[in-house]
Amino acid sequence: MTTRLRILDDGAWLSVDDTRRVSVSELWRLDSTEFCDCDLADLVVENFQAVGVDGPIVEVRVYGQCITCGTKSTTGWIPVGRIVDGEFTDLERESVLSAHSEG
Amino acid sequence: MPTDVENWKSEVYGNEIREHLFRFAEEGFETIPDDERDAWFERFKWWGLYHQRNGQEGYFMMRIGTPNGVLEPGQLRVVGEIADEYARGPGTNPIFGESYADFTTRQSIQLHWIQLSDVPAVFEKLEANGLSTQQACGDSWRNIVGNPVAGKDGQEVIDAWPVIRDLNETFKGNDDHSNLPRKWKVSVTGSADGSGQGDINDLAFEPAYKEIDGEDEVGFNVRVGGGLARNEPRLARDIDVWVSPDQVSDVAGGLSALFRDNGDREDRYNARIKFLVDEWGPEQVRETLQEEYVDFELRTAGRDVREEYTYNTGEGERNDLIGVHKQKDGTNFVGLNVLVGRMGADDVLELADLAEEYGSGEVRLSQRQNVIVTDVPDEELDDFLAEDLLEHYSPDPSPFMRGSIACTGTEFCSLSIVETKNRQVRFARWLKQHVDLPDDVDEFHIHLSGCTASCAQPQIADVSLRGMKTRKNGEAVEALDVGLGGGLGDEPQFARWVTQRVPVDEVPGAIANLIESFAAERNEGESFRAFVDRHDDEELDAFVEPEETDYEDPMMHNTKMTWYPYAEDDGMDASPPTPADD
Ligand code: HEM
Ligand code: SF4
Ligand SMILES: [Zn+2]
């Protein structure tokens, strides 16, 4: 069975199988030199731009702002959850997240 | 590839959504198939129902579209009764209570906590009284805006109300125009004050004179492609067309069809017509309209009255419609300030009584979230103005009260980053108590939007506030970006974002300091907007100077991670269950 992944309400949230899973306004610690010059970006998620999968991992690209340095941009692919036996489980997004390098 | 939304729309959209909506209402929320929820919630918007944010599953915002903000006699009471009976949920707002109505920046009305099972009853009552939610949200013709006192205003060039009514009748429920690539916002203004705010709409008709067979005729110039959302604000662009009132419908329909056929359906972020106008330029819009969408020769633009615009300009007369104004027929309209556009259901009902007692029963809504009681004769005026209710909804409010606009924010909205309405009320009260404007300045507009969608129109205020976050003593807190010097008028201008990420509890102090610098350093008689104009961003940033004061903000934490920002136990785990069907 395929998992339905969608970004809805103009980028407000990520829907997985018709259930809201991840919303804007989360604050992520992002380990990505591509986003800004900070060692760890402190990213306010303002808008979801795209969703994809890499094996069992659900990834998104988001528009947001690093509140340490002020950079505003779109991220590379960031893992936010995992599909196990057809069920979505959150990744611990309070801890450090890393972007996929090919962005 | 078309988006999911486009695929859903091509299956079921427009009027036919209604029968499904009613079926689900009857059979129960849980009968919406699990794998069709996203699709149905997207479609329900077309009928004015917008699912509230996470933590509030099964509750909807309902928008009632009132063309030009006109509520005919009796209709305000209906809105009050519906709010009182149906717009109640598990959350109680500490300032506004258990049930209330919001008057919006596009002259509509929003109710919250609506349950699907109540929709047929609410629709029946609305429709029996000439009101509707049709196309209030979704990808179609939205509520048409304009000068709310059209037909009555002493300053009018042409009465736009019959034109608006005709457009509304023609394009609501019209299958040829019901499925557009994105929302379609139309403004038709007949007064010389600019109160229709055409510049920030997808399509604007503005009053203009044209010489035809040696005679000056009154009609409208046409502008296309304005809008504020997504860090991509645009002013509507002049396509060099003048239309007589009886051609408005053909040209509006032509442009709506042009948008339908040419707007981007593969990328919703690029779908608004403002982006098509960017790509094509106004000349190509005009050519395409002429060649493919109208069957008469378009005239070139006429002589407009833009230099007379005052509304939301930040200087001169009539920046809003608050206060007592003369109508053409010798009676008066009285604009009352509704702070952040929200009115408790009891107050709505009381105002409906007063409008009947002193006026004709009619009220109208402005784009500054205020309400206007019309048709009050001179001899009734003093008694009306002495009513207790008008102490709260004042015709002569403090500049900080009358200048405040706020969007929905984290209370209900999925896109929001911060709490808005309650915060703006607290800001306004604090500023009223602690800050003095120079004596000759009696208007000061502060607009607060919870995110970049810009529903509160922040870019056209003296002080623009937009939701962000920051860290304060290591803790993540809600914050606001501060922009300055926006306004409409002959030469409209968007605010410049000069100071980023001010923690919310330091914003009132920042505004107080800014106003202090303005008062000290302005030229004689200089408006705030002009003052901002002659300073660079760095100088302005220095004036803003965030500071803690005795202002307290109980909503500093991430209010979006709550189920309801003001609940005692506000954690997501305490979310109310999806309402049971009754
Ligand atoms: C439950 C969620 C939402 C609520 C309660 C809400 C509320 C409002 C309100 C009160 C207005 C004023 C106008 C009107 O009557 O049409 C408005 C306008 C607007 N809304 Fe929303 N909104 C919501 C979601 C969204 C979303 C998801 C977007 C996404 C883009 C959005 C974008 C806008 C924009 C751009 C405007 C007007 C500004 C302009 O384009 O000129 N809103 N909204
Ligand atoms: S501006 Fe943003 S937060 Fe405010 S109502 Fe619009 S979408 Fe929601
Ligand atoms: Zn950074």
3-state SS of chain A? CCCCEEEECCCCEEEECCEEEEECCCEEEEECCCCCCCCCEEEEEEEEEEEEEECCEEEEEEEEEECCCCCEEECCCEEEEEEECCEEEECCCCCEEECCCCC
Q: Cα–Cα–Cα angle for B405, B342, B326, nearest 5°? A: 75
Return d(Cα A7, Cα A11) in angstroms, integer.
6
Mean pLDDT (whole number) for B490-517: 97
Residue of B nearest to A50 (CA): B267
| DSSP, residue by residue, B364-387 | EE-TTS-EEEEEE-HHHHHHHHTS
Closest CA to A51 of A62, A63, A40: A62
| Residues B20, B26: Cα–Cα separation, whole Å | 10
∠ CA B269-B369-B522 to the nearest 5 degrees? Answer: 90
Distance B229 CA to ligand 2 centre (A): 10
Rounded to the nearest 10 degrees, what angle do helices B421-434 and B507-521 cross at?
40
| Topology classification of domain B401-561 | Sulfite Reductase Hemoprotein; domain 1 (3.30.413)
Question: How many A from CA of B67 to the centre of ligand 3?
Answer: 46
Looking up tokens 């893992």 gives A79
Ligand 1: which of B455, B459, B494, B560 to mutate, most ligand atoms within 8 Å of CB? Answer: B455
CATH of the domain spanning B323-396, picked from 3.40.1180.10, 3.40.640.10, 3.30.70.3340, 3.40.50.300: 3.30.70.3340
Across the interface, of B54, B471, B558, the residue whose CB is closest to A13 is B54
Dist CA A19 CA B465 (whole Å): 32
pLDDT digit string, tens, across residues B291-329: 999 999 999 999 999 999 999 999 888 999 999 999 999
Distance CA B389, CA B346 (A): 11
Nearest CA to ligand 1 atom 23: B413
User: What is the mean predicted confidence (pLDDT) over A70-89?
Assistant: 94
Nearest C-alpha neighbor of B226 from the set B235, B218, B217:
B235
Task: Please provide residue B457's backbone torsions phi and psi, each rounded to the nearest 5 degrees.
Answer: 55, 50
- Is the pLDDT at B582 greater than 60, yes or no? no
**CATH class of the structural domain B161-308:** alpha beta
Q: Which of A13, A19, A24 sits opposite B417 (nearest CB)?
A: A24
CB B517 within 8 A of CB B499: no
Strand-pairing partners, residue B564, are none
DSSP for B56-113 reads -TTEEEEEE--GGGEE-TTHHHHHHHHHHHHS--S--BTTTBS-EEEE-TTS-EEEEE
Could you report the predicted ipTM of this complex, rounded to two decimals? 0.94
| Rounded Cα–Cα distance for residues B243 and B505 (Å) | 50
Beta strands, E only, B225-359: 237-243, 303-304, 323-326, 332-336, 342-344
Nearest-angstrom CA–CA distance, B574 and B120: 29
The confidence score (pLDDT) of residue B581 equals 60
Question: What is the crossing angle of helices B119-128 and B17-27, to 10°?
Answer: 130
Task: Show the CA angle centred on residue B500, arms to residues B468 and B320, nearest 5°.
Answer: 80
* In the predicted structure, residue B81 carries a pLDDT above the cut 80: yes
For chain B, the straight-line distance linking the first and the last C-alpha, in angstroms and rounded, comes to: 42
More confident: B442 or B356? B356
**Residue B412 contacts residue B419 (beta carbons within 8 Å):** no
Three-class secondary structure of residue B25 per DSSP: helix
Taking the C-alpha atoms of residue B415 and residue A45, their distance in angstroms, rounded to an integer, is: 10
The pLDDT of residue B487 is above 50: yes
- Per-residue b or e along A48-84, where b marks 16 or more CB atoms closer than 10 Å to that residue's CB: beebebeeeebbbbbbbbbbbeeeeeebbbbbbbebe
Average pLDDT in chain A: 91
| In chain B, % of residues over pLDDT 90 | 96
Best of A25, A72, A73 to disrupt the B interface (most B CBs within 10 Å) is A25
Residue B384 and residue B376 in contact, taking contact as beta carbons nearer than 8 Å: yes
Mean pLDDT of B264-286: 96
Q: Is B221:B208 a contact under the CB 8 Å cutoff?
A: yes
Torsion of CA B207, B208, B212, B216, to 10 degrees: 90
Cα–ligand 3 centroid distance for A70 (angstroms): 6
Amino acid making up residue B396: D
What ranges do the domains of chain B cover? 161-308, 323-396, 401-561
B438 pLDDT higher than 60: yes
Residue A96: HSE in the Cβ half-sphere, 13 Å Cα cutoff: 6
Q: Which residue CA neighbors atom 16 of ligand 1 most closely?
A: B106
Let me know: does B23 contact B116? Beta carbons within 8 Å.
Answer: no
Q: Choose the mutation target among B9, B38, B230, B471 for the interface with A, i.e. most A CBs under 10 Å.
A: B38
Helix (H, G, I), strand (E, B) or coil at B465: strand
- Verify whether the Cβ–Cβ distance B54 to A67 is below 8 Å: no
Cβ contacts from A onto B, under 8 A: 73
- CB proximity B452 to A under 8 Å: yes
Residues in chain A with CB shorter than 8 Å from the CB of B500 are 70
Task: For residue A33, report the distance from its CA to the centre of ligand 3, in Å.
Answer: 9
- Which residue, B185, B8, B16, is CA-closest to B108? B185
B183 to chain A: closest CA residue: A10
What span, in angstroms and rounded, lies between the C-alpha atoms of B3 and B39? 12
Q: Which residues of A touch B470 (CB under 8 A)?
A: 67
At residue A99 the predicted structure's pLDDT band, cuts being 50, 70 and 90, is: confident
pLDDT digit string, tens, across residues B226-254: 999 988 999 999 999 999 999 999 999 99
For residue range A16-65, what is the model confidence (pLDDT) as tens digits?
999 999 999 999 999 988 899 999 999 999 999 999 999 999 999 999 99
Position B265 confidence tier, pLDDT thresholds 50, 70, 90: very high
What separation in Å is there between the alpha carbon of B415 and the centre of ligand 1? Answer: 9
Distances (CA, A) of B232 to B145, B274, B305, B368: 21, 9, 27, 22
Same fold, B161-308 and B323-396: no
Nearest CA in chain B to A72: B231
The residue of chain B with its CA nearest to that of A17 is B35
* CB within 8 Å: B34 and A17: yes
Which of B295, B251, B259 minimizes the C-alpha distance to B277? Answer: B259
Contacts of A18 in chain B (CB under 8 A): 34-38
Q: How far is A12 from chain B (nearest CA, A)?
A: 5
Dihedrals φ, ψ of A8, to 5°?
A: -125, 170
Q: Which residues line ligand 2 (CB under 6 A)?
A: B 407-409, 413, 415-416, 449-451, 453-455
Distance B103 CA to ligand 3 centre (A): 39
Q: pLDDT tens, B380-389?
A: 999 999 999 9
User: Residue A102: its pLDDT value, please?
Assistant: 47
Which ligand has the minimum distance to the alpha carbon of residue A43? Answer: 3
Closest partner CB to B37 (pick from A12, A18, A23):
A18
Q: Which two tokens stand for residue B300?
A: 């070139």
Q: Which residues of A touch B469 (CB under 8 A)?
A: 25, 27, 44, 67
Query: Ion ligand 3 — residues with CB under 5 Å?
Result: A 36, 38, 41, 66, 68-69
Of the candidates A18, A49, A65, the beta carbon closest to that of B38 is on A18
Q: Is the predicted pLDDT of residue A101 greater than 80, yes or no?
A: no
pLDDT averaged over every residue in chain B: 96
Pick the residue from chain B with its C-alpha nearest to A24.
Answer: B415
- CA distances B395 to B108, B322, B344, B371, B456, Å, are 21, 6, 18, 10, 21
A64 Cα to the center of ligand 1, angstroms:
20
Of the bound ligands, which one is closest to the alpha carbon of residue B452? Answer: 2
Find out whether the beta carbon of A12 lies less than 6 Å from any atom of ligand 1: yes
Q: Which protein residue's CA is at the shortest distance from atom 37 of ligand 1?
A: B455
